[in-house]
Structure 1
Amino acid sequence: MAEKKKILIRIGSLRHGGAEKVLVTFLKNLPEDQYEIDLLLNLYSGKYLSEVPEWINIIYLNKGEMITTNRIQDIPRKIYRVIYQHLLKKFPKLLYKGKLKRKQYDIEFAAIHGMCDEILNSPLKNSKKIVWIHNDLSEVKGYNNEEIRKFFGFDSIMVISEKIKDTFLSLAQSEAEKLKIEKIYNPLDTEEILTKAEKPVLNYHFAPAVPTFISVGTVFPQKGFDRLLKVHKRLLDEGFKHKILIIGDGYDFENIKALKSELGVDNTATMLGFTDNPYPYFKHSDFYILSSRYEGFPTVLFEAITLKKKIIATEVSGVKEMLNNGEIGMIVENSEEGIYSGMKKAFENPEQFNSYAEHLKHYKMSFSLENSVHSIMKIIDGL
């Protein structure tokens, strides 16, 4: 039997983000007999740790939850982590000699763009290097063309949407560089979503006569929850009764919560925090709303499509592809005004949403779990 390929995969942690969920779904569907995988986390934490298959070896730089506060008692630990991780990044030989026990890998895999330098600066010169890009970097602060060009140092660049692919193609300087770019749809598990949606809703009451707009995502400025709440207030002031439900956690949670109180919408807007099963909430909500400022390929829309929701989404990377150019959901301008006009239409022209629902009934998604896992394996095996 052929020898198993030795693969090192790097990611920050397995907290509750789209890229983390996608990585774990991919790992759960890989054949154990073909690969030997070390998963190296900067921080051994996150909701998805328990889902990593047992045959995958987890290695970590530090243990414990993410420290997001500046409380006096947390500062020494925070400083230690930062210095330790910075040292290993600056002197990768220490990491490869120590934690990784001088192991020789065939493939080194950056599961998010933030691990670019760590993999490219690896002391292993003979390993093949892959990066998985989940965000439209042309929209991300700190990434100019020169920074994005660095990714051409990888042997394969996996991107998750047409828009991201176009960004990279426009920066490629040779045919060989163009050939490195592969569009791979995120591996997502439809069956799991449908099964989990049948579970009961906990700690939230859906009012039958009042429409609920749900939004799910990590609470970062990128997700635009601030815009959503401002629009919510505006529509309430105009007499449109409705509720907003935000599911997710993140470093911006307290700011968004404070904004909610400041706008005086605490009775109509709810922030539930993180739940590992948001699907029953999806199921019972009337509309799914994506208020993001930028995305790569919003995994959450796949979930909303799977659960046949009425969708309103800002025009960010991946949305046109996922909503079939606006055939199965409403695409609005990427602005507060855009979100406002989309939500207002939900009240004033509900029949428009019936036509989306009709199209959704017969819609076949081109991104199946099997296809995605197979495509990534093909890249790994081909290097």
Structure 2
Amino acid sequence: MKKILFVIDKMTLGGAEKLLIDIVNNLSKDKYEITVFKLFNGGELDKLINKNVKQISWLKKQHKGIYRVIRYFNPEEIYKRNIKEKFDIEISFKTGMPEKIVAASPNKSSIKIAWIHGDMEYQNYGLESHRTKELQFRCYSKFNKIIMDSQKCENSFKKVVGDFYNFHLIYNGVDLEKVKLLSRENKDIPYNPEKITFSTISRLSYEKGIDRLVLAVEKLVNESINNFEVYIIGGGSMNKQLQEMIHEKNLNNHIFLLGAKHNPYKYLPETDAFILASRTEALCIAIIEAMTLKVPVISTKCGGPEEVLGESEFGVLVENSVEGIYNGMKQFIEREIQIKNLYSDKGAQRSKDFSVQAMISNIEELFDNVSKTIDQHHYADI
């Protein structure tokens, strides 16, 4: 049985954190003994990790501004004081300090893996912790493998950090059956059956492009195209700005900000199409979730979605602009039935390629392959 260590900063609500739960809860219990080391204890998702997975932490809780302090700590000392077991595979699951801790591991025989989840061209995640690009490059050079969740992610990493020729692509997995189950709950708002209903699940931040979606809706309304509504599920830093923008443009009868929801999936099945208006994405889980519910997807060409949708083979791809979003919505309004017939079933079938089961199979295959390297080193030392 191989011993696997995952290092993460905290288990608060977030995409990478939820992904980690899916991974550690689904990896084979017969093949792997798993430990999760957290910089900070607690978090909403702590209790969702299965009991067979060991959890250890460094600090009891996160204090404001603490990242700016701990970036000067010696990562090897953090490792030695908290991690007492010897692992076969050590994985940093977030950028910054988790990478520094794994890279500084005194365990010279372990395979070290960095897992990258974001678009480095949009934001150099972890640079503040590394402090300089030179130190960041030096840190990554100590890893045997660097896992990317999309080709877009890999390309941007190469441009910003460098090419280490040890990248491995593993798409994030979605618990499709869970999404289907949660989608059956009754939603708490009625949709107008006389109008076409667009939906999106998105954080309300600049990179997600919801401001551009508002401008596209304004353009449609100015052309007297009024037979539609847009429901936006999610919260974020731009919430107030977007509310004011919608009010100033008199779009309150067309755009509805529903806020963050514990179960966003129940709002999707009765909508006619899902819109992704993002400026940039690595791999977008939300469009896969919509596809598994047979909701046609309209997405900007912003990186990751192209890998999911192909060349508009499994959904509608539009230019990464207000004009592109406007054209995609207008096209759907004019050809609703044809687009639904074209993409509903094909999208649902395509979503299976991004299931949790497919992801776990790819991860275990990687672990098995790198484990052969561990075993070869072990026998060479005998």
Task: Report the TM-score when normalising by structure 1.
Answer: 0.82
Q: 1:336 to 1:150 in 2, by over 3 A?
A: farther
Q: 1:95 to 1:171 in 2, by over 3 A?
A: closer
Task: Note if 1:307 corresponds to 2:293.
Answer: yes
Q: Which range moved further: 239-248 or 311-320? A: 239-248
Task: Note if 1:102 corresponds to 2:68.
Answer: no
- 1:76-115 maps to which residues of 2 (within 5 A)? 77-79=63-65, 81-82=66-67, 85-87=70-72, 90-98=73-81, 100-114=82-96, 115=98
Task: Note if 1:184 corresponds to 2:184.
Answer: no
**Any gaps of 5 or more consecutive residues in structure 1?**
67-76
- The code of the aligned residue for 1:349 comes to R
Q: 1:258 to 1:40 in 2, by over 3 A?
A: farther
- Tell me if structure 2 keeps the 8 A contact 1:16–1:218: no
2-side partners of 1:148 and 1:235: how far apart?
47
Task: Note if 1:135 corresponds to 2:118.
Answer: yes
2:148 aligns to what?
159
The Cα offsets for residues 306-335 of structure 1, whole Å up to 9 and x where unpaired, read as 111121101122222211320221101111
Distance apart, 1:158 and its partner CA: 1.3
Distance apart, 1:364 and its partner CA: 7.0
1-side partners of 2:9 and 2:346: how far apart?
39
Task: Note if 1:18 corresponds to 2:1.
Answer: no
Q: Which range moved further: 368-377 or 37-46? A: 37-46
- Picking from 228, 231, 251, the partner of 1:265 is 251
The Cα offsets for residues 107-151 of structure 1, whole Å up to 9 and x where unpaired, read as 221223444334323444433211222223234357899767863
- Picking from 53, 77, 90, the partner of 1:56 is 53
Distance apart, 1:185 and its partner CA: 1.9
1:73 aligns to what?
none
Task: Note if 1:373 corresponds to 2:368.
Answer: no
1-side partners of 2:144 and 2:5: how far apart?
15
Q: Secondary structure at the match of 1:283?
A: coil
Q: 1:112 to 1:325 in 2, by over 3 A?
A: farther
- Tell me if structure 2 keeps the 8 A contact 1:17–1:218: no
Distance apart, 1:47 and its partner CA: 4.3
- The code of the aligned residue for 1:151 comes to Y
1:74 aligns to what?
none
* Number of residue-to-residue matches in the alignment: 361
Distance apart, 1:376 and its partner CA: 0.8
Over the aligned positions, Cα root-mean-square deviation in angstroms equals: 3.1
Distance apart, 1:223 and its partner CA: 1.1
Q: 1:219 to 1:182 in 2, by over 3 A?
A: same
- Tell me if structure 1 keeps the 8 A contact 2:292–2:351: no
2:376 aligns to what?
none
- The code of the aligned residue for 2:120 comes to L
Distance apart, 1:222 and its partner CA: 1.7
1-side partners of 2:38 and 2:10: how far apart?
5
2-side partners of 1:49 and 1:309: how far apart?
32
- 1:184-333 maps to which residues of 2 (within 5 A)? 184-202=170-188, 204-241=189-226, 242-333=228-319
1:69 aligns to what?
none
- Tell me if structure 2 keeps the 8 A contact 1:130–1:156: yes
2-side partners of 1:353 and 1:374: how far apart?
33
- Tell me if structure 1 keeps the 8 A contact 2:292–2:348: no
Task: Report the TM-score when normalising by structure 2.
Answer: 0.82
- Tell me if structure 2 keeps the 8 A contact 1:137–1:148: no
2:369 aligns to what?
382
**Any gaps of 5 or more consecutive residues in structure 2?**
371-382
- Tell me if structure 1 keeps the 8 A contact 2:282–2:304: yes
2-side partners of 1:311 and 1:83: how far apart?
40
1-side partners of 2:137 and 2:250: how far apart?
42
Q: 1:249 to 1:61 in 2, by over 3 A?
A: farther
